[in-house]
Structure 1
Amino acid sequence: MSASEKAIVLSKIKYRDNDLIISCYTQHRGLSSYLIRGAFKSKRPGSIAYYQLLSQLEIVENYKPNQALNFIKEVKSSYVYSTLHTNVIKSSIVLFLSEVLTNVLKEEEQNNLLFDYLETALQWLDSENNYANFHLLFLLKLTKYLGFYPDTNNMELGVFNLQSGYFQSNNTHVYAISLENNTLLKLLLGMNFDALHTVKLHAEQRQAFLNMLMQYYELHLGYFKKPKSLQIFNQVFK
């Protein structure tokens, strides 16, 4: 069955000599994988470039239910990035976030709100010059769609507990976060991307908050593993 679909590329691996397997998050079916035959010998201009990490595509797919790998009959960009794959720092963000998304997005079902969030957030990153803290807010907001967004009731109580997902008065609990991370968390909760320029952090603060977020993901997603690119990514933002 042929069908049109919007897709965001999460990962890609070379298969055999000339083929490519890509994993995408699609608008109507969630996670889906495709075999691109002859991707590395295609004479069509830009054929490989379509499948860069986090690229936003419009595809015509040959879809068969219960088939592990589907096929793409036609492809074009639904949004052409200006900087995401050419700016070195943004490319590092793309590599890191694509690894996180590959790790956490497991559902093969429609989630329009999540797809719209990914699409809009990545377009924002592509167009902005002040983006040093983008990944922090992106990962925090992503938890809303994954089912463990921090409970914002009783924020005045004090310190956030990573395990429970609630703010509590006891700041000695093993999963109570540092006061500095707590202050930043309260600042970011409810913030939109356009306000990120008001958040001023140095590298150590940024890394500490990111490491805290990774622990939060680990506690609430049993299958989550820290990205292999995390250490290199932190080096980029020193």
Structure 2
Amino acid sequence: MLSKNNSIVLSKLKFRDHDLIVKCYTEHRGVVSYLLRGVLKSKKGRSKMVYYQELSQLEIEESYKPNQSLQYIKEVKFNYIYKSLHTNIYKSSIVMFLAEILGHVLKEEEKNEDLYHFISAALQYLDNEDTYANFHLLFLLKLTRYLGFQPENLETHYPFFNLETGIFETYNHGVYSVSGENLIVLKQLLGTNFDTLNTIKLSAVRRQEFLSMLLHYFELHLDSFKTPKSLQILNDVFH
């Protein structure tokens, strides 16, 4: 069955000598893996690799068969053409980092159009924005809503945040209680959107410390979540 599906590329993997497996998050089917036969064999095939860069937004005409682990692409074109996301070294380090996280946490083979549109719109914002050093922090924080463990923000005036329960509290309950500078940043980010993110000013050290806390939050709420390998590259670039 041929159908069209908007897709965001999460990762690609060489398969056998000349084939490629591309994992995408799609608008209508959730996570889908596509087998591209012979794409590495010829110059014409390799020229198509430009479509499959991390977090590229594509419109795919697919040959879809239910209960088949690998699907096939008949035609592909860009759904949105990035201006800077893959050419700006700072933005591309964010892309590498977020693609690794999304590739790990997005596993369901069922559609979630709200999540797809959130990711798509956020990436387009990043592509067009000149001030973006804190983008990945807000992106991950907003992503928790779709993954089911968004921090509750009813009692944000309380002096502690519990990473394990995801709620603000009046007392320190031990190792999972957050206070101080990380708590201030959390409250700031919970109260903002991408269009006002540039009002939040953080040093490189503060940004890295908050990101470390945020990744720990993911670890506590997602089974088998691991610190992304690309974290060090991201921290080095934004140091």
Give the TM-score category using the shorter length.
over 0.9
> Which whole-Å deviations, capped at 9, do the CAs of 1:165-206 have from their partners, x for residues lacking one?
000011352101131000010011031101111111111100
Aligned residue number for residue 173 of structure 1? 174
1:120 Cα deviation (Å)?
A: 0.0
Further displaced range: 139-148 or 165-174: 165-174
Aligned residue number for residue 197 of structure 1? 198
RMSD across aligned C-alpha pairs, in angstroms?
1.1
Q: How does 1:16-165 map to 2 (within 5 A)?
A: 16-40=16-40, 41-43=42-44, 46-165=47-166
In 2, the alpha carbon distance for the partners of 1:128 and 1:221 equals: 30
| One-letter amino acid matched to 2:214 | L
Aligned residue number for residue 228 of structure 1? 229
> Which whole-Å deviations, capped at 9, do the CAs of 1:40-92 have from their partners, x for residues lacking one?
22516841100000000000001111111000000000000000000011111
| One-letter amino acid matched to 2:9 | V
In 1, the alpha carbon distance for the partners of 2:164 and 2:93 equals: 29
* Residue ranges of structure 2 left out of the alignment (5+ in a row): none
In 2, the alpha carbon distance for the partners of 1:89 and 1:20 equals: 27
In 2, the alpha carbon distance for the partners of 1:69 and 1:44 equals: 19
| One-letter amino acid matched to 2:140 | L
- State the secondary structure of the residue aligned to 1:109: coil
When normalised by structure 2's length, the TM-score is 0.97
In 2, the alpha carbon distance for the partners of 1:217 and 1:44 equals: 38
Instruction: Name the % identity.
Output: 58
> Which whole-Å deviations, capped at 9, do the CAs of 1:127-175 have from their partners, x for residues lacking one?
1110000000000000001000001111112211100000001135210
Further displaced range: 190-199 or 49-58: 190-199
- State the secondary structure of the residue aligned to 1:28: coil
- State the secondary structure of the residue aligned to 2:214: helix
* Residue ranges of structure 1 left out of the alignment (5+ in a row): none
1:225 Cα deviation (Å)?
A: 1.0
| One-letter amino acid matched to 2:112 | N
Q: Kindly report structure 1 stretches of 4+ aligned residues shifted beyond 3 Å.
A: none
- State the secondary structure of the residue aligned to 2:153: coil
- State the secondary structure of the residue aligned to 2:44: coil
Further displaced range: 133-142 or 32-41: 32-41
